[in-house]
Chain A
Amino acid sequence: MNQKEQTGFFRRNPFFRVLFREIDRMSSSFIYLFITLLGPLIAFILLLAIFNEGVPRNLSVALVDQDNSALSRKMGMWIDAAPEAEITMRLPNLAEAYQRMETGHVDAVVVIPEETEKNILKGVQQQIPVFINNSNILKGGYLQKGIYKTLATMSGGIKVQVAMKHGLSEKQALAKAQPVRLHQHVLFNPFGNYAYFLLTALLPLMVVVFTLLSTVYAVGTEVRDGTGPEWLEHSGGSIIVGVAGKLLPYTLLFSVLATVMNVILFVQMGTPLRGEFMLIVLGELLLILAYQFLGILLVAVTSNLRLSLSLGSAYSMMALTFSGLTFPQFAMPVIAKAFTWLFPFTYWVKLFISQAIRGEAAVLGVRYLAIIPLFVLLSVALFPRLKRILQNEKFWGKV
C-alpha cells in the first residue's frame, strides 16, 4: 500500500476506504447511474402517466335501440351520461353489435327492445338485455356498475311517478319503491379507484426491484472480476466493514428514492396517513436493507453474477403477486399462501395498509416491521461463505 494514501482519517479508516472505493466504482459506468437513479425515475414517471386518469371512464358501449321512443332515447342519454360508459355507436341489431365486440370496438351492448315504452305505460315489466364483455373483469365490473345503476335509477323513477300518481307522498312512494336501502361504506378505501390502489404497491415494488438488482450487481461484479481480495484489503480484511461500506451509498440513494415516493404517495396523490408515519419510514428503510442483504445472499449462494441477477429479478417481481394485494392471500392455495411470507415486500404492504390506510394501533404495525430484519440476519449468516468466494479464485470469472 502506498504510504501517501495513509494520511488522514478518511484514508486510513477501512470503512471510509471501502465507501470511497465504491463511489469511484459507481461513477465509472452508466449502468450504475441507470440502476440507482435513471431507471427508478423513468419507472415512476411511466407508472404515474399510465394511471393518470385514476378511474376508467367512458368505456365504449353500443346501443341497439329498437324502440325509438322518447323513453328509449332518454335511456340512451342516461347511459351515456354515466361516468363509466359512453355510447360510441348506435346499431340496428344485436348481431352487428356483437361483430363490433369481436373487433374490439365496444365492450358492452345495451338492447332496448320494441314496445318498451308501451309496456312501461301499460304496467308490464320490460327487460332490458345488457351484454358485457367480461374477459377483462376490471372493465366488465365498471360497466356493470354504471349500466345497472342507470337502469335501476330509471326504474325507480318510474315507480315513484306511478305511486305518486296514485296519491302517495314522495316519502311514502320512495319507501314503497325500495323497502330496504343498502348503504355501501368503504372501510379505509382512500380513493375508491383502482389506479391509486395499484400505484401504492407498484411504486414501492420498483424501489425493491432496483435495490435488489443494484446490490447483486455491485457485489456480483467483484466476484466476476476477481476484485474481491482488493475489496477486502480496503476493509482491512473484515467482511462486515466491507459490506457496510459498500452498501451505504446505495442505502442512501434508495432512501432518497423512497422519500420521493412518499412525496408522490402522500402529497401528490393524497394517500391517507392515519397511523404512525415514522413506522412507515422505518419500514421503508428496513425494506431497502432487507433487499440489499438478500442481494448479498443471492451472490453468496450462487457465486454467480448473472444467475443471481436472473433469480433476483424473478424474486423481486413476484413479490407483487404474492403480497396478496391484487389477489388476496387467503384465497390462494395452501402452498402459495405459505410462499407469500418469503417476501419482505409482503410485510411492507401489510405495514403500509395498517399504518397509512387503516390507521391501526402502532403495535399492530410493529408486528410486521419486526419480521423484516430476519431477512438481514439470514444473509449475515452467509457472510463467511461470501468471504470465501471473494478470496478463492475458483469462483471468479463466471459470467
Chain B
Amino acid sequence: MTGEFYQDEMKAILKDQGALLILLGAIIIYSLIYAYAYKMEVVREIDTVVIDLDRSSSSRQLVRMIDGTEEANISLSATSMQEAKELFYEDDQVGGIVLIPSGFEKDLLEGVQTDVSVYADGSYFLIYRQLVGAAVKSVGTFSAGVEIKRLMAEGKTYEQAMAARDPLSADLHFWFNSSSGYGSFVMPGLILIILQQTLLIGIGMIGGTSKEKNRHSFQVPVALRRGGVFPLLLGKGLSYLTIYSINCVFTMVLLHHWFDYPNRGSYLHVMALTVLFLLAVIFMGITFSVLFKKRESSILLMVFLSPIVLFLSGISWPAASIPPFLYKLAHVFPSTIMVPAYLRIRNLGVELSSVQHEYFLLLIQVGFYFATAALALYVETRRNRKLEASAKNTTDTV
C-alpha cells in the first residue's frame, strides 16, 4: 500500500506546477541567488578619506600602511574635517575618514603620546568593522615600530625591545572561517532554513489543494483500517524525502563545492543528520498541512516566519542571547536543533559523537511529529469519510 500512496503523492506534486516551484525550483533559485550575492565573501578596499594635517614623512608612512591593508583604500584626501565630511556624503562608496593631527611627527620624536582618529561609517555594520580593524592593525604596527626603535636606541636588543614593548601578547588564532567570509558564515545555515521553510510551505500547499479538490476520497477505505494510516503517512513522507534528497545533493554538495563553503565533515555524518532533519520537517509539515483549508494558506501564514526562524536557530545571533523561553519554544522547529549540529559537522569536521545530544533531540522530534502526523491524517480521513457519506446521501436523495 505504501508504494501506491507514494506514487499517488508523487503524481500530485509533479502535476502541480505551483508546488513544484516551491519544492524544487525555489531551493535552487534561492540558494544560487543568495550565494551569488555573497560571492565576494569579504568587504575589501573600502574607500577612505585621509586628513593629513601633519604632512610629514611619518604621517605619510602611516597613510601608506593603512592604504596597504586589505580592508582600506585611501582614495581621497581632505584638508579639514568639514571637507572630508562633504566628500563622505557625496560619495556612497566612501566608508570612513582617518585624521592625523598636526605635530604628529614632532610628538613622536619628543616621546609625547599622539592621537590618530578614525571615523568609520556605523550605518553599515561590516564596513565599520573592516575599517576600524584596518586602522587598529596599521596604527598598532606603526606604534610598535616607533617603540621598538626607541627601545633599541636605548641599547636593548631586538628581543628585549619586543618584550618591553608588549610583555603580554595575545596570540590570536581564528579557527574555522579564519578569513571571516560572509558567505561561508551565513550560507550553510541559510540553506537549511530554506529547505525547511519550502518543505513546510510546499506540503501545506499540497494538503490545501487536496482539501479543495477532495482528492482523498479513495484513501479513506485503506486509511481507516486498523493501522492503515501508516502506509498513507509513509507513502507521503517518502515522496517528499525523494525530492528533498535531490535538493540536498544540490545545496549541500554541489553548491558547497562551487562556492567553496566549509566542508570538513564526512558526508556520512552529514547524511545521518540530514535524513533525521528532513523526516522531522516532513512529518511536521504533514501535521500542519491538515490545518490549511486552501492551497495558498500555507504561504500566507508561514512565509514571514522564515527570517524569524533563521535568527532563532543561532546562525548569527547567539542562541545564548535569545530569551530562554523563546529559544525553548523555537525547538518546535527542527532547524533550531539541526543548524548548530550541522554547522559543527561542516565547519569543524566533528564526529557524530560530538553532536549526539542534538541527534537524540532530532530523533525525539521525528518520533513526536510522526505520531502527530499519523493522528492528523487519521482525523482527516475520518472527516473525509463523513463528507463522502453525506455527499452520497444527498446524491441518493436527489
**Cβ-defined contact, A53 with B321, below 8 A:** yes
**Cβ-defined contact, A186 with B120, below 8 A:** yes
**Cβ-defined contact, A178 with B118, below 8 A:** no
**Cβ-defined contact, A217 with B300, below 8 A:** yes
Nearest chain B CB to A118 CB, angstrom units: 12
Q: Is A104 an interface residue (CB 8 A)?
A: yes
Q: Is B185 an interface residue (CB 8 A)?
A: yes
Q: Which residues of A contact B39 (CB under 8 A)?
A: 332-333, 336
In chain A, positions 163-197 with a C-beta closer than 8 Å to chain B are 171-172, 174-176, 178-190, 192, 194-195, 197
Q: How far is B341's CA from A213's CA once the two chains are assembled, in angstroms?
A: 34
Q: How far is B88's CA from A185's CA once the two chains are assembled, in angstroms?
A: 15
**Cβ-defined contact, A52 with B323, below 8 A:** yes
Chain A interface category by residue count: 35 or more
In chain B, positions 293-309 with a C-beta closer than 8 Å to chain A are 294-297, 299-301, 303-304, 306-308
Q: Is B250 an interface residue (CB 8 A)?
A: no
**Cβ-defined contact, A180 with B139, below 8 A:** yes
In chain B, positions 85-136 with a C-beta closer than 8 Å to chain A are 88-89, 92-93, 96-97, 108, 111-129, 132, 135-136
Q: Is A262 an interface residue (CB 8 A)?
A: no
Q: Which residues of A contact B177 (CB under 8 A)?
A: 134-135, 137, 140
**Cβ-defined contact, A124 with B262, below 8 A:** no
Nearest chain B CB to A387 CB, angstrom units: 23
Q: Which residues of A contact B119 (CB under 8 A)?
A: 185-187
**Cβ-defined contact, B116 with A59, below 8 A:** no
Contact of B36 among A43, A335, A360, A399 (CB under 8 A): A335
**Cβ-defined contact, A205 with B128, below 8 A:** no
**Cβ-defined contact, B212 with A399, below 8 A:** yes
**Cβ-defined contact, A147 with B147, below 8 A:** no
Number of A-B contacts (CB under 8 A): 325
Q: How far is B142's CA from A103's CA once the two chains are assembled, in angstroms?
A: 40
Of the candidate stretches A293-301, A318-326, A388-396, the one touching chain B is A318-326
Q: Which residues of A contact B38 (CB under 8 A)?
A: 327
Nearest chain A CB to B61 CB, angstrom units: 11
Produce 1/0 per residue, A303-333, CB < 8 A to B. 0111101100110011011101111101111
Residue among B164, B168, B299 having the largest count of chain A Cβ atoms under 10 Å: B168
For B319, give the chain A residue with the smallest CB separation.
A104
Q: Is B326 an interface residue (CB 8 A)?
A: yes
Contact A309 to B299, CB < 8 A, known contacts A180-B146, A327-B182, A360-B89: yes
**Cβ-defined contact, A132 with B173, below 8 A:** yes
Q: How far is B30's CA from A103's CA once the two chains are assembled, in angstroms?
A: 31
Produce 1/0 per residue, B29-42, CB < 8 A to A. 11001101111101
Contact of B139 among A139, A182, A313, A314 (CB under 8 A): A182
**Cβ-defined contact, B167 with A327, below 8 A:** no
Q: Is B209 an interface residue (CB 8 A)?
A: yes
Contact A189 to B128, CB < 8 A, known contacts A49-B326, A133-B175, A182-B116: yes
**Cβ-defined contact, B322 with A140, below 8 A:** no
In chain B, positions 177-216 with a C-beta closer than 8 Å to chain A are 177-178, 180-182, 185, 205, 209, 212
Q: How far is B177's CA from A328's CA once the two chains are assembled, in angstroms?
A: 19
For B33, give the chain A residue with the smallest CB separation.
A318
Q: Which residues of A contact B88 (CB under 8 A)?
A: 187
Contact A139 to B318, CB < 8 A, known contacts A180-B114, A181-B115: yes
Q: Is B316 an interface residue (CB 8 A)?
A: yes
For A186, give the chain B residue with the smallest CB separation.
B122
Q: How far is B329's CA from A204's CA once the two chains are assembled, in angstroms?
A: 25
Q: Is A380 an interface residue (CB 8 A)?
A: no
Q: Is B63 an interface residue (CB 8 A)?
A: no
Q: How far is B178's CA from A133's CA once the two chains are assembled, in angstroms?
A: 9
Q: A310-B299, A330-B93, A333-B37 are in contact. List 8 more A-B contacts (CB 8 A).
A: A47-B311, A53-B323, A131-B173, A132-B174, A139-B318, A331-B44, A332-B40, A353-B123
Chain A residues close to B by CB (< 8 Å): 31, 34-35, 39-40, 43, 46-47, 49-53, 56-60, 99, 101-104, 116, 120, 123-141, 144, 147-148, 151-152, 154-155, 158-159, 162, 171-172, 174-176, 178-190, 192, 194-195, 197-198, 202, 205-206, 209-210, 213, 217, 220, 304-307, 309-310, 313-314, 317-318, 320-322, 324-328, 330-333, 335-336, 339, 353, 357-358, 360-361, 364, 399
Provide a sorted-by-A list of 12 A–B residue pairs whose CB atoms are within 8 angstroms: A104-B341, A133-B348, A135-B348, A136-B185, A136-B318, A155-B166, A182-B139, A183-B118, A185-B120, A187-B120, A213-B303, A335-B36
Lowest 5 A-B CB distances belong to which pairs?
A189-B122, A125-B163, A135-B347, A175-B113, A186-B122
